[in-house]
């Protein structure tokens, strides 16, 4: 009686025998496939040697022609034994398909190693043939696991041998490829093409294994075909072709474009290539390298994965092509479309700092260019903002620096037509500087210190031209920009909501001090417009941050100047636009139109200054010195012998004094009703907290004054628009006084210095 099986044997048969048998069968299949592959390769080599010998013999005997298809088939089958024939799956040998008809991809496997090139071929299909061969290899289908595993290495070796043969046979063409399409020659060194092919093949193998594990899924062929179409769209080889086509389109206008391998002469094809590549490349990258975004807005991309290393050359090539395209485009719609395609690419460009800085500089240039449309500028701003959000502290510092430099460069020339664009730059830049306020404080302190150094140098080392480094539009817009940054992010309401003070709040004091110093650098009537510009930006800071800034003294200096005390001379000049001026032309000095404009600005700025404290419990004490000085000035200018004889300006100041006195009396009446002492700071801060500022005597006056100014601005804008339309239509319409405009532009050009 035979002994019974051991317990371990039974356990093995029950749990592991089936898997072991299947594993051995699979291993046997793989070994058989390897043997078949070796036999096929040996058969091809023997067949190739036989053909070469026959060709040589035919040439020696002078015989021209070729064998019939039947003879070639016969010889091919003669090379095989019975086992090879049945193991080959009844495939037609490679010698058969030598007809003129176009062979199908399934019938004829690609022969990369036997590619022939005629002497007259100009080599315009290097990347296309290369990519097509890879596509053919993928479309042949997975004949066997061993074949798919070894095809990439074999194809790459064949490609390298082909390039080496090309180097020996046609060195001129090899040098041409090296100069124009170096990536084609460098693929073998880095293994990029093999990795890309392996990446695509690996994805398809995973899907095939999944289908084998779940045979039920094979029944739904409609869904499977749709999935295959999506896989083809996300294929890395197709991505390579799209990147190369886009590169050809981007460098089309270069001087050596005629010598390049690929040229696009049709405008419709060029447009289609741009649209397809700009939309397709980011989608495919997101498919292979999904972006993970945290709650704070930071992004994460798997930088250590093989996929990222494989796609790195394509990412850099596409980004360089986009940058090249941005520098050459002039159409606003195409420029906006190209800019919009950069935003989804930013997470993949973070590791490439140099390339990212080059692209950032170009985007900032478009954002700060006065010739760009508003939509294009906003699109560029969104890119900069996105980069500021997802970048680390180093990238953020670069973004802030580039943004500030672009702002200074873009605000060099300021006119009525470019003022709106400059304000857009300043507002959008102020938003960027508030994203990470800790980094912004470090960078901002250096730029503000630079402004202080310029001011100090102008004061300590005075010369005929030293003031020009301060009294120019770039310096004024820089100070105005910092006022917008501080008023936006150091707002009392925003800080109360956040529960802590803004890191930018310590910058308020140096900005205010620099502005006050620049305001009084040259206290002449010619620079009253600049003083008014700086006063308004200080009012903005004071309103948003609740900081008291003494501005009454600077405005009283204007009234006490000879320009406002002496009688003016009549003039036919148009009123000066103080919103777009920092210096008055000499033709405006001592004229009635200039004196009226300065008087209106002073009265308005006084009312805007006091409206900030109209509900403050100390308003009577704050306004008393100003009321006394204004009454003294009115007494001097109202003299019949030495007055300015300008009733219009004097009446505006009289009305201002009346409103200040009325508001002081109203505050005193409200103070009589309180029961707390001045030491109770909490009650002092809550004084008239529930009262709207428009209901105060001064508030009602300021509200009416603002409405009148808004109507005046609308009237001026409407007049400018009509004049612009008439001038565009060819009408001879005088837009501005010629003398005043010329003198102002000439003087402003002298003041504009870096």
Mean pLDDT to the nearest integer, 85-108: 43
Q: What does the pLDDT read at residue 262?
A: 63
Helix residue spans in 79-144 (DSSP H)? 82-87, 126-139
pLDDT value at 511 more than 60: yes
Closest of 535, 386, 533, 425 to residue 471, by C-alpha: 533
Contact, 259 vs 275, CB < 8 A?
A: no
Q: What does the pLDDT read at residue 66?
A: 43
Q: How far apart are CA 659 and CA 665, in angstroms?
A: 10
pLDDT digits (tens, 9 = 90+) for 414-469: 888 899 999 999 999 999 999 999 999 999 999 999 999 999 999 999 888 889 99
Mean pLDDT to the nearest integer, 695-706: 94
pLDDT value at 151 more than 50: no
Q: What does the pLDDT read at residue 127?
A: 41
- Give the other-Cβ count within 10 Å of 29's Cβ: 13
Q: Cβ contacts of residue 198 below 8 Å, gap of 6+? A: 152
Q: How far apart are CA 47 and CA 94, in angstroms?
A: 10
Mean pLDDT to the nearest integer, 353-362: 96
**Could you tell me how far CA 702 lies from the centroid of its own chain?**
42
Mean pLDDT to the nearest integer, 236-259: 80
CA distances from 1 to 4, 13, 87, 433 (A): 9, 22, 45, 92
Q: pTM score > 0.75 for this model?
A: no
CB-count burial class (<10 Å; 0-12, 13-18, 19+) for 279:
middle
DSSP letter assigned to residue 143: S
More confident residue, 666 or 109: 666
Helix (H/G/I), strand (E/B), else coil: 505:
helix
Q: How far apart are CA 297 and CA 480, in angstroms?
A: 29
Helix residue spans in 6-81 (DSSP H)? 7-15, 17-61, 69-78
Mean pLDDT of the chain, nearest integer: 78
- Longest pairwise C-alpha distance within the chain: 147
What is the CB-side half-sphere exposure of residue 740 using CA atoms within 13 A?
20
More confident residue, 312 or 33: 312
Q: What does the pLDDT read at residue 77?
A: 45
- Give the other-Cβ count within 10 Å of 745's Cβ: 13
Mean pLDDT is lowest, of 222-231, 293-302, 513-522, 680-689, for: 222-231
Q: What percent of the chain has pLDDT over 70?
A: 70
Contact, 507 vs 438, CB < 8 A?
A: no
Helix residue spans in 546-591 (DSSP H)? 552-559, 562-565
Q: How far apart are CA 274 and CA 251, in angstroms?
A: 12
More confident residue, 186 or 247: 247
pLDDT digits (tens, 9 = 90+) for 431-444: 999 999 999 999 99
Q: pLDDT-derived band of residue 99, with 50, 70 and 90 as boundaries?
A: very low
pLDDT value at 98 more than 60: no
The residue to which tokens 């051995």 are assigned: 24
Q: What does the pLDDT read at residue 352?
A: 95
Q: pLDDT-derived band of residue 119, with 50, 70 and 90 as boundaries?
A: very low
Contact, 201 vs 148, CB < 8 A?
A: yes
pLDDT digits (tens, 9 = 90+) for 259-277: 555 677 788 888 888 999 9
pLDDT value at 678 more than 90: no
């Amino acid at each position: 009686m035979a002994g019974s099986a051991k317990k371990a044997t039974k356990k093995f048969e029950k749990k592991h025998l089936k898997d072991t048998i299947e594993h051995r069968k699979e291993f046997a299949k793989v070994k058989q496939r390897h043997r078949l592959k070796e036999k096929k390769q040996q058969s091809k080599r023997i067949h190739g040697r036989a053909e070469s010998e026959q060709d040589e013999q035919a040439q020696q005997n002078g015989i021209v022609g070729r064998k019939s298809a039947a003879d070639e088939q016969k010889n091919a089958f003669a090379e095989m034994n019975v086992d090879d024939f049945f193991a080959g799956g009844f495939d037609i040998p490679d010698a058969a398909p030598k007809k003129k008809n176009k062979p199908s991809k399934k019938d004829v496997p690609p022969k990369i190693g036997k590619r022939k090139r005629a002497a007259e071929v100009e080599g315009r299909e290097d990347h296309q043939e290369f990519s097509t061969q890879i596509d053919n290899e993928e479309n042949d289908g997975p004949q066997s696991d061993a074949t798919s595993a070894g095809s990439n290495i074999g194809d790459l070796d064949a490609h390298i041998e082909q390039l080496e043969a090309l180097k020996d046979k046609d060195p001129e063409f090899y040098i041409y490829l090296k100069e124009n399409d170096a990536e084609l020659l460098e693929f073998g060194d880095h293994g990029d093409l093999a990795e890309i092919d392996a990446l695509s093949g690996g994805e398809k193998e995973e899907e095939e294994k999944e289908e084998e594990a779940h045979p039920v899924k094979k029944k739904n062929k409609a869904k499977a075909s749709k999935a295959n179409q999506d896989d083809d769209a996300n294929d890395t080889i197709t991505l390579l072709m799209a990147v190369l086509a886009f590169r050809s389109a981007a460098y089309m206008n270069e001087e050596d474009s005629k010598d390049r391998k690929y040229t696009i002469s049709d405008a419709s094809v060029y447009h289609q290539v741009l649209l397809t590549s700009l939309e397709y490349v980011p989608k495919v990258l997101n498919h292979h390298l999904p972006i993970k975004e945290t709650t704070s807005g930071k992004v994460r991309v798997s930088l250590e994965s093989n996929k990222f290393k494989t796609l790195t050359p394509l990412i850099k090539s596409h980004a360089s092509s986009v940058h090249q395209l941005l520098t050459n485009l002039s159409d606003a719609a195409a420029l906006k479309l190209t800019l919009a395609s950069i935003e989804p690419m930013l997470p993949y460009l973070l590791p490439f700092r140099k390339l990212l800085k080059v692209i950032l500089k170009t985007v900032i240039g478009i954002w700060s260019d006065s010739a760009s449309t508003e939509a294009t500028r906003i699109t560029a701003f969104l890119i900069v903002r996105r980069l500021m959000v997802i970048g680390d502290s180093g990238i953020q510092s670069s973004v802030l620096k580039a943004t500030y430099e672009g702002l200074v460069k873009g605000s060099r020339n300021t006119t009525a037509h470019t003022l709106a664009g400059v304000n857009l730059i300043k507002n959008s830049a102020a938003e960027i500087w508030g994203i990470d306020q800790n980094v912004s404080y470090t960078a901002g302190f250096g730029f503000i210190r630079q402004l202080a150094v310029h001011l100090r140098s102008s004061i300590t080392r005075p010369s005929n031209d030293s003031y020009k480094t301060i009294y120019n539009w770039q310096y004024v817009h820089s100070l105005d920009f910092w006022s917008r940054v501080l008023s936006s992010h150091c707002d009392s309401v925003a800080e109360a909501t956040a529960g802590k003070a803004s890191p930018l709040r310590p910058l308020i004091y140096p900005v205010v001090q620099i502005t006050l110093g620049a305001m009084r650098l040259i206290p002449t009537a010619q620079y009253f417009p600049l003083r008014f510009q700086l006063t308004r930006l200080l009012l903005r800071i004071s309103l948003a941050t609740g900081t008291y800034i003494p501005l009454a003294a600077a405005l009283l200096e204007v009234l006490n100047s000879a320009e406002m005390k002496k009688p003016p001379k009549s003039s036919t000049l148009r009123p000066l636009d103080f919103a777009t001026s920092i210096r008055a032309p000499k033709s405006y000095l001592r004229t009635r139109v200039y004196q009226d404009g300065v008087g209106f600005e002073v009265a308005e700025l006084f009312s805007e200054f006091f409206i900030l404290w109209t509900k403050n419990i100390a308003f009577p004490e704050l306004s008393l010195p100003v009321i006394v000085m204004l009454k003294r000035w009115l007494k001097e200018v109202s003299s019949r012998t030495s007055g300015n004889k300008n009733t219009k300006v004097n009446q505006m100041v009289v009305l201002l004094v009346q409103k200040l006195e009325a508001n002081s009396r109203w505050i005193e009446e409200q103070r009589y009703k309180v029961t707390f002492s001045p030491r109770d700071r909490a009650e002092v801060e809550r004084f008239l907290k529930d009262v709207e500022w428009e209901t105060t005597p001064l508030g009602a006056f300021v509200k009416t004054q603002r409405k009148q100014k808004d109507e005046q601005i609308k009237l001026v804008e409407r007049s400018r628009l009509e004049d612009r339309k008439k001038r565009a239509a060819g009408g001879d319409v005088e837009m501005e006084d010629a003398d005043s405009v010329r003198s102002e532009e000439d003087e402003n050009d002298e003041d504009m210095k870096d």
